[in-house]
């Protein structure tokens, strides 16, 4: 990726409707936060949140980096997303759902509120779920998924949504780590025209060490036959209509946990990122207004899966907090053909469309002319998230989907940040394809070198956030030490530990920020974040594997693909072995973590202290000529041997 020459300015039409209309207005807001940090957040929190009881302090830093925001405030996030809209927007569509087979549902705010209240009562009355209990949700992209999440929020239970692509082993690990009481799932969903079964995965997960789970609540979706455990398993549709549609919202503290979402780090097992109530919902709402410029009659669509943070914040919480209409789609973009998404944009007259670079690249590849077959003139703003977008994909998106008139908001953020951090503002920021441009007001990033000094233009450094922000993660569930060591031990400013993102980046000469990718051992495969350590651990469980190292290899569609170097215990027929290794990974993590390439090598390049030189392995995977100094390796001849193995 290299900084592109061309700058794209917002069109007059967009500026006219935009909430923030110029860089001057952006700078003014940014400066407000700079000059009076707490005053800035105080103003917004008072303005945007319906408090049950006001907070008495904006920010408590006494136990930093365990920051507390809006201390003493009481609220309920489901009320913020539903009840407060009912007078004005009760009959407005909240969710426009489309299933992969083509079934449709339009759910109004009132209907959604009724369903959430009933589900909240169901969790309380039938399953004894109380404030603070953990509920694991493993569901397809159907409306009962947001209903389940909001029902948890209403009664103060902490939800932990597990992406439907994770295996039984991964699901079990998350259930155990969270000591969840209940699993909410479905028989299955629809994917690529096939039933995508989920209940059997839950059954498999619960076979072992999940004593905390008392019940499983199952939504009927694809009507496939499922196994049944009497006493433990319950159909949602058989119970829900016995419940009242009035459930008093639990009074929650600003800092009570709202949800956990597990994500990968560079070492060890996935970490349960813990988000709060007030700070999270405030930022979800504000970024919907600033970045997507949501206005009353807009139809908004984020194509992510709710199993990831993008879906949490930008399909559910953000859109409902601002009272917009959020589109939700169950399936894949290429079923039954590569025009599916463009047809949906035409059908629903979508105004804001938010997706991932990997999807843009895929749709460009399989159907470059497809967008032209549909009326996409309703589109006003396009968004991307999840990985750096290459300028080619950006330009195709801009020209063919946005018809050269829609600004593209390239939003940089993470599971940990809760919401957007760097992003253009559609009516203000001149964009450069491939750059997430500038921080949002209230967000203070700094690109630092290893010594904590701000880097100069065009010099690569570590992206850090030097002040706390309301929607930041609060801790890692059950592991506060790891929270500190993962995020607050690498960089300091004025002697104070600051948040380290794990990403490398540069400023260009105009101050635009360009993300260069992870600097830790975390891969980004089709926008899915996977730690190399997790994949290595899975592969290491194969009985024939002695040692393994996994690196990312650039991939034209997926961004990165998984490349595994495997040292075997014995010589073994390679064909069945490769399939067997992929199978272990599928079982332990899920199909998205399966290595694309497995190369059998006689050894791994290690320093004399035993550290694997991954940089070298990345270069070899790319087929680059090795220019690095390999004399410090324990066995410098190993590099040539590995390169030889790649030829076979």
Q: How far is the CB of 41 from ligand PRX (least distance, A)?
A: 22
Gap between the Cα atoms of 92 and 104, Å rounded = 16
Which part of the chain contacts ligand PRX (CB under 6 A), choosing from 88-96, 236-244, 405-413, 602-610? 405-413
Residue 21 φ then ψ, to 5°: -100, -5
Task: Work out whether 483 is an interface residue with ligand PRX (CB under 6 A).
Answer: no
Grouping H, G, I as helix, E, B as strand and the rest as coil, residue 461 is: strand
# chain residues binding ligand PRX, by CB under 6 A: 22
Question: Is the CB of 388 or the CB of 442 nearer to ligand PRX?
Answer: 388
Distances (CA, A) of 132 to 169, 258, 391: 25, 9, 45
- d(CA 548, CA 647) in angstroms, rounded, equals 19
Q: How far is the CB of 113 from ligand PRX (least distance, A)?
A: 28
Q: Specify the stretch interacting with ligand PRX by CB under 6 A; choose among 92-100, 117-125, 341-349, 411-419.
A: 411-419
For ligand PRX, the closer of residues 75 and 515 by Cβ is 515
- Name the residue among 627, 512, 620 with its Cα closest to residue 5: 512
* d(C-alpha 120, C-alpha 52), whole Å: 19
The residue within the footprint of ligand PRX, chosen from 14, 49, 385, 617 (CB under 6 A), is 385
Q: Please, are residues 400 and 429 in contact by the beta-carbon 8 Å criterion?
A: no
Taking the C-alpha atoms of residue 169 and residue 176, their distance in angstroms, rounded to an integer, is 11
Selected from 85, 191, 529, 594, the binder of ligand PRX by CB under 6 A is: 529
Question: Interaction with ligand PRX in 236-265: which residues (CB under 6 A)?
Answer: 263
Nearer to ligand PRX, 266 or 599 (CB): 266
- C-alpha to C-alpha distances, 611 to 440, 494, 600, 644, nearest whole angstrom: 39, 32, 19, 22
Cβ atoms within 10 Å, residue 41 = 22
Residues 6+ apart with CB under 8 A from 590: 163, 165, 166, 167, 170
> How far apart (Å, rounded) are the C-alpha atoms in residues 98 and 325?
13
Cα–Cα distance list, 350 to 53, 288, 319, 409, 641 (Å): 37, 15, 14, 16, 54
* 314 binds ligand PRX per the rule CB under 6 A: no
**How many helices (H) and strands (E) would you count in the chain?**
21, 31
502 binding ligand PRX? (CB under 6 A): yes
Asked whether the beta carbons of 318 and 284 are under 8 A apart, the reply is yes
Rounded to the nearest whole angstrom, what is the least distance from the CB of residue 642 to ligand PRX in the complex? 27
User: Is residue 469 involved in binding ligand PRX (CB under 6 A)?
Assistant: no
Q: In angstroms, give the least distance from the CB of 315 to ligand PRX.
A: 12
Binding mask 163-202 for ligand PRX (x = CB under 6 A): ----------------------------------------
Q: Choose the stretch contacting ligand PRX; rule: CB under 6 A; options: 36-44, 103-111, 159-167, 514-522.
A: 514-522
Least CB distance from residue 431 to ligand PRX, whole Å? 12
Stretch that binds ligand PRX, among 34-42, 165-173, 406-414, 480-488 (CB under 6 A): 406-414
Q: Which is nearer to ligand PRX, 468 or 517 (CB)?
A: 517
What is the per-residue DSSP string for 582-597?
A: HHHHHHHT-GGG--SE
Report the candidate in 34, 23, 31, 312 with the shortest Cα–Cα distance to residue 159.
Answer: 312
In the complex, residue closest to ligand PRX by CB: 415
Shortest spacing between CB 515 and ligand PRX, in angstroms = 4
Could you report how far apart the first and last alpha carbons of the chain are, in Å? 31
Burial of 16 (0-12, 13-18, 19+ CB in 10 A): exposed
Alpha carbon distance 149, 444 (integer Å): 31
| Phi/psi at 349 (5° precision) | 55, 55
Q: Which of 74, 221, 518, 582 binds ligand PRX (CB under 6 A)?
A: 518
Which range, of 150-158, 193-201, 496-504, 543-551, touches ligand PRX by CB under 6 A?
Answer: 496-504
Stretch that binds ligand PRX, among 358-366, 515-523, 531-539, 625-633 (CB under 6 A): 515-523
Minimal distance in Å, beta carbon 230 to ligand PRX? 38
Show the DSSP H helices in 22-108 as ranges: 23-35, 37-48, 77-81, 86-89
Which token pair is 646? Answer: 């790649």
User: Any contact of residue 303 with ligand PRX (CB under 6 A)?
Assistant: no
Stretch that binds ligand PRX, among 18-26, 343-351, 498-506, 565-573 (CB under 6 A): 498-506
Q: Whose Cβ is closer to ligand PRX: residue 371's or residue 527's? A: 527
Cβ closer to ligand PRX: 442 or 502?
A: 502
Which is nearer to ligand PRX, 342 or 412 (by Cβ)? 412
Contact residue for ligand PRX among 167, 351, 471, 524 (CB under 6 A) = 524
The helix or strand, by DSSP H or E, that contains position 15, with its residue range, turns out to be helix 12-17
Please identify, among the stretches 2-10, 47-55, 190-198, 382-390, the one whose residues bind ligand PRX according to the rule CB under 6 A: 382-390
- Tell me: does residue 413 bind ligand PRX (CB under 6 A): yes
Least separation in angstroms between residue 618's CB and ligand PRX is: 16
Taking CA atoms, 412 is separated from 8, 353, 501, 515, in Å, by 18, 16, 11, 8
Confirm or reject binding of residue 515 to ligand PRX (CB under 6 A): yes
Which of these ranges, 47-55, 70-78, 497-505, 594-602, lies near ligand PRX under the rule CB under 6 A? 497-505
Q: How many CB atoms lie within 10 A of CB 15?
A: 16
Q: Among residues 202 and 422, whose Cβ is nearest to ligand PRX?
A: 422
Site string for ligand PRX, 423-462 (x = CB under 6 A): -------------x--------------------------
Those residues whose C-beta lies under 8 Å from the C-beta of residue 27, and which sit 6 or more positions away, are none
User: Is residue 505 within the footprint of ligand PRX (CB under 6 A)?
Assistant: no
Position 310 contacts ligand PRX (CB under 6 A) = yes
Residues that bind ligand PRX (CB under 6 A): 263, 309-310, 385-388, 410-415, 436, 501-503, 515, 517-518, 524, 529
């Amino acid at each position: 990726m290299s900084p592109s020459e061309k700058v794209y300015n917002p069109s007059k039409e967009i500026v006219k409707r935009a909430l923030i209309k110029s860089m001057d207005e952006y700078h003014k807001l940014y400066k407000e936060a700079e000059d009076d940090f707490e005053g800035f957040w105080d103003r917004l929190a008072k303005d945007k949140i319906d408090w049950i009881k006001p907070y008495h302090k904006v920010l408590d830093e006494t136990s930093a980096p365990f920051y507390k925001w809006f201390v003493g405030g009481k609220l309920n996030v489901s009320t913020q997303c539903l009840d407060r809209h009912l007078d004005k927007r009760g009959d407005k569509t909240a969710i426009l759902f489309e299933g992969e087979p083509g079934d449709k549902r339009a759910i109004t705010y009132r209907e959604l509120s009724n369903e959430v209240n009933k589900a909240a009562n169901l969790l309380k009355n039938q399953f004894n779920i109380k404030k603070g209990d953990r509920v694991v949700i493993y569901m397809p992209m159907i409306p009962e998924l947001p209903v389940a999440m909001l029902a948890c929020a209403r009664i103060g239970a902490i939800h932990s949504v597990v992406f439907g692509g994770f295996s039984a082993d991964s699901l079990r690990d998350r259930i155990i780590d969270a000591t969840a009481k209940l699993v909410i799932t479905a028989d299955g969903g629809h994917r690529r025209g096939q039933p995508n079964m989920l209940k059997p995965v839950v059954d498999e997960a619960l076979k072992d060490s999940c004593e905390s789970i008392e019940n499983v609540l199952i939504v009927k979706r694809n009507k496939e036959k499922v196994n049944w455990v009497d006493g433990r398993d319950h159909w949602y549709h058989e119970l829900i209509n016995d419940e009242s549609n009035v459930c008093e919202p639990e009074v929650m503290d600003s800092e009570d946990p709202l949800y956990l979402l597990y994500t990968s780090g560079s070492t060890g097992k996935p970490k349960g990122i813990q988000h709060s109530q007030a700070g999270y919902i405030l930022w979800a709402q504000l970024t919907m207004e600033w970045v997507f410029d949501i206005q009353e009659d807009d139809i908004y669509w984020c194509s992510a899966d709710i199993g990831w943070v993008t879906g949490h914040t930008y399909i559910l919480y953000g859109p409902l907090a601002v009272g917009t209409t959020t589109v939700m789609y169950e399936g894949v973009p290429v079923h039954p053909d590569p025009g599916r998404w463009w047809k949906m944009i035409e059908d629903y007259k979508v105004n804001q469309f938010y997706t991932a670079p990997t999807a843009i690249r895929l749709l460009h590849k399989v159907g470059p002319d497809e967008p032209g077959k549909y009326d996409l003139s309703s589109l006003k703003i396009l968004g991307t998230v999840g990985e750096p977008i290459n300028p080619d994909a950006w330009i195709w998106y801009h020209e063919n989907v946005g018809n050269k008139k829609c600004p593209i908001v390239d939003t940089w953020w993470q599971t940990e940040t809760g919401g957007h951090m760097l992003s253009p503002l559609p009516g203000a920021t001149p964009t450069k394809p491939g750059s997430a441009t500038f921080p949002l007001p209230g967000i203070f990033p700094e690109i630092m070198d290893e010594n904590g000094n701000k880097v100069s233009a065009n010099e690569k450094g570590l992206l850090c956030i030097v002040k706390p922000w309301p929607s930041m993660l609060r801790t890692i569930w059950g592991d506060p030490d790891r929270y500190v060591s993962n995020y607050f031990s690498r960089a300091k400013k004025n002697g104070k530990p600051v948040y380290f993102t794990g990403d490398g980046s540069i400023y260009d000469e105009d101050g635009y920020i360009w993300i260069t990718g992870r600097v830790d051992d975390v891969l980004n495969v089709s926008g899915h974040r996977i730690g190399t350590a997790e994949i290595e651990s899975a592969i290491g469980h194969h009985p024939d594997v002695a040692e393994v190292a996994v690196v990312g290899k650039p991939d034209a569609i997926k961004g990165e693909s998984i490349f595994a170097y495997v040292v075997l215990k014995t010589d073994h027929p390679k064909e069945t072995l490769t399939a067997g290794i992929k199978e272990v990974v599928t079982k332990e993590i899920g199909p998205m973590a399966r290595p694309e390439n497995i190369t059998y090598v006689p050894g791994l390049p290690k320093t004399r202290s035993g550290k694997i030189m991954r940089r070298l392995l990345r270069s070899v995977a790319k087929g680059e000529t090795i220019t690095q100094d390999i004399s410090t390796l324990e066995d410098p001849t190993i590099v040539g041997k590995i390169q030889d193995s790649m030829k076979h």
